[in-house]
Chains A and B, each alone.
Chain A
Amino acid sequence: MVEISPGELLLELSGVTAGYGAGLILKGVNLTATRGEIICLIGPNGAGKSTVLKTVSGLLQPQSGTVTFAGEDISRMSSRDRLARGIVHVPQDRSLFPAMTVWENVMMGAFILKDQALVRRRLDEVAALFPIVAKRRSSAAGSLSGGEQKQVELARSLMLDPALILLDEPSIGLDPRSRTSVFASISTLANDGRTVLLVEQNARSGLAVAHQAAVLEAGVVALTGTGEALLTDPEVARLYLGASAAGPAETLAKVV
Chain B
Amino acid sequence: MHALIQAIILGILTGGVYALMASGQTLIFGVMKVVNLAQGALVVLGAYLTYSLFTSLGIDPFLSILITTPILFAVGVGVQWVLLRPLHGDDIGQLSLLVTFAVALGLEGALSFVYGATLTNVQPTYANFSWTVLGYQISLVRLVAFVLSLVMLGVLYLILQRTKFGRSVRATVQNPMSAQLLGVNSQRVSALGFGLGAATAAAAGSVFGMLNSFNPGSHYDLISRLLTIVVLGGLGSIGGSVVAALVMGVGSSVVSALASPIWSDFTFFIVLLLVLLIRPRGLFGAKTRGSL
A contact face: mostly helix, strand, loop, or mixed: loop
Given known A-B contacts A79-B180, A83-B183, A99-B291, A104 and B174 have beta carbons under 8 A apart: no
Q: Please tell me if the beta carbons of B291 and A98 are within 8 angstroms of each other in the complex.
A: yes
Expressed in whole angstroms, the Cα–Cα distance for A45 and B184 within the complex equals: 30
Q: How many A-B residue pairs have CB under 8 A?
A: 59
Residue among B177, B178, B290 making CB contact with A96, cutoff 8 Å: B178
Whether B179 sits at the interface, judged by CB under 8 Å, is yes
Q: Which residues of A are found within 8 Å of B292, using beta-carbon distances?
A: 99
Q: Please tell me if the beta carbons of B174 and A99 are within 8 angstroms of each other in the complex.
A: yes
Residue among B164, B175, B183, B185 making CB contact with A97, cutoff 8 Å: B175
Q: Please tell me if the beta carbons of A108 and B179 are within 8 angstroms of each other in the complex.
A: yes
Q: Please tell me if the beta carbons of B167 and A57 are within 8 angstroms of each other in the complex.
A: no
Size of the chain A interface, CB-CB below 8 angstroms:
22
Expressed in whole angstroms, the Cα–Cα distance for A79 and B178 within the complex equals: 12
Expressed in whole angstroms, the Cα–Cα distance for A104 and B160 within the complex equals: 12
Q: Which residues of A are found within 8 Å of B290, using beta-carbon distances?
A: 99
Interface range on chain B (Cβ under 8 Å from partner): 20 to 34
Give the contacts of A135-158 with B (CB-CB under 8 A). 156
Expressed in whole angstroms, the Cα–Cα distance for A25 and B185 within the complex equals: 27
Q: Please tell me if the beta carbons of A100 and B181 are within 8 angstroms of each other in the complex.
A: no
With both chains docked as a complex, state the minimum distance between the C-beta of B26 and any C-beta of chain A, in angstroms.
Answer: 14
Instruction: Produce 1/0 per residue, A105-135, CB < 8 A to B.
Output: 0011101100000000000000000000000
Q: Which residues of A are found within 8 Å of B231, using beta-carbon distances?
A: none
Expressed in whole angstroms, the Cα–Cα distance for A59 and B168 within the complex equals: 19
Which 5 residue pairs spanning A and B have beta carbons closest together? A99-B291, A112-B183, A95-B178, A97-B174, A97-B171
What are 30 A-B interface contacts by the 8 Å CB criterion?
A: A57-B181, A59-B181, A80-B183, A83-B181, A83-B183, A89-B181, A91-B177, A93-B177, A95-B175, A97-B170, A97-B171, A97-B175, A97-B179, A98-B174, A98-B175, A99-B170, A99-B288, A99-B290, A100-B167, A100-B170, A100-B174, A107-B167, A108-B168, A108-B171, A109-B182, A111-B164, A111-B167, A111-B168, A111-B182, A111-B183
